Amino acid sequence: MPDPRTPSRRSVVRGVAWSAPVVAVAATAPAYAASPCQTRYSYRLDWGTTSYTRSGARNASASVTTTGGTPVSVTFASTSSTTSNVPDATRNLSVPANTGIGTTADPVVTSLGGRAGERGVMLYHASSTAGRANRQEVTITFGRAVRGLQFWITDIDTIASPAYSDRVELIGYNSVGAVVPFASTNDGVSGAGSEGSPWLRSAEANVSENAAGAQTSVNFTAATPSATTDVKSMKLTYWNATGGTQFHRIFLGDLSFTAMGC
């Protein structure tokens, strides 16, 4: 007669059958999860949607999010070279409404530069003295270096009465302060965006904020992207070649870029 304390063959087989799947599942589990710091993500500072805080005419900040990566902070700091071209206290670095009637001084922006749904942030002078010596400079700094940075600068106008003629310059820097080159494609304007060749509209025209024809696209995408071509900050310079009091402003559109997840 078998010893009742000894397990039967059927019990042993049944126990093996139940335990085998557990071992198999454990063997296929990953050893560790990939870190977002090792992955590059796409980001977009979408004006009117992205979290944005204006702290006055001189300072503002945004927090750009994406799925999987941690937010990238973007700060805006405005300085003026003289007191003859002071940024408008209530409008500079503001994002205009996209609904309502709108006025000449306070436009409604629904399709910046003719791009449906796009809005923008304004650099705005209610009046200005002519000449580059009376410029506004806005330094835009990213919380960590970004790559493939692209955007539009819009509403670069010239009119005779009341007189004003926009001039716009841009320069980008990497994490060690070296200049990063960019390409631009002009739509109704001329120039290269440098101090010696600012973007301008040579033909007299007051183009609507919501229409094409007075803008340029900027692209920091290099043929061979690397840490030396990544952008950590850029300086946007804005001045008036003829002076005047007619709502002197330009717009910076959505900023698209990639960045490491943290």
What digits encode the pLDDT tens for the residues 102-149? Answer: 998 999 999 999 999 999 999 998 788 899 999 999 999 999 999 999
What is the pLDDT, as a whole number, of residue 220? 97
What is the pLDDT, as a whole number, of residue 18? 43
Look at 23-27, 113-117, 148-152, 226-230 and tell me which has the smallest mean pLDDT.
Answer: 23-27
Report if residue 16 sits inside a domain. Answer: no
Q: What is the pLDDT of residues 161-205, one digit of tens each?
A: 778 899 999 999 999 999 999 999 999 999 999 999 999 998 888
Name the residue range of residue 251's domain.
37-260
Q: pLDDT > 70: what percent of the chain? A: 87
Q: What is the pLDDT of residues 79-97, one digit of tens each?
A: 987 777 788 999 999 999 9
Q: How many angstroms separate the CA atoms of 231 and 63, rounded?
A: 17
Look at 28-32, 54-58, 134-138, 150-154 and tell me which has the smallest mean pLDDT.
Answer: 28-32
> What is the pLDDT confidence band of residue 7, given thresholds at 50, 70 and 90?
low
Report if residue 249 sits inside a domain. Answer: yes
Which value, in Å, is the radius of gyration of the alpha carbons in the chain? Answer: 28
Question: Is residue 28 over pLDDT 90?
Answer: no
Average pLDDT over residues 69-78: 98
Question: What is the count of structural domains for the chain?
Answer: 1
Q: pLDDT > 90: what percent of the chain? A: 73
Report if residue 206 sits inside a domain. Answer: yes
Report if residue 94 sits inside a domain. Answer: yes
> What is the pLDDT confidence band of residue 29, given thresholds at 50, 70 and 90?
very low
Report if residue 27 sits inside a domain. Answer: no
Give me the half-sphere count of Cα atoms (radius 13 Å) on the Cβ side of residue 235: 13
The two structure tokens encoding residue 68? 């999987």
Report if residue 209 sits inside a domain. Answer: yes
Look at 19-23, 96-100, 234-238 and tell me which has the smallest mean pLDDT.
Answer: 19-23
Tell me how crowded residue 177 is: count the other CB atoms within 10 A of its CB: 8
Report if residue 22 sits inside a domain. Answer: no
Q: Which residues contact 111 (CB under 8 A, 6 or more apart)?
A: 117, 118, 210
Instruction: For residue 136, give the nearest of 106, 92, 94, 200 by alpha carbon.
Output: 92
Question: Is residue 26 over pLDDT 80?
Answer: no
Report if residue 3 sits inside a domain. Answer: no
Q: What is the 3-state secondary structure (H, E, C) of 195-222?
A: CCCCEECCCCECCCCCCCCCEEEEECCC
Query: Residue with structure tokens 């650099």?
Result: 123
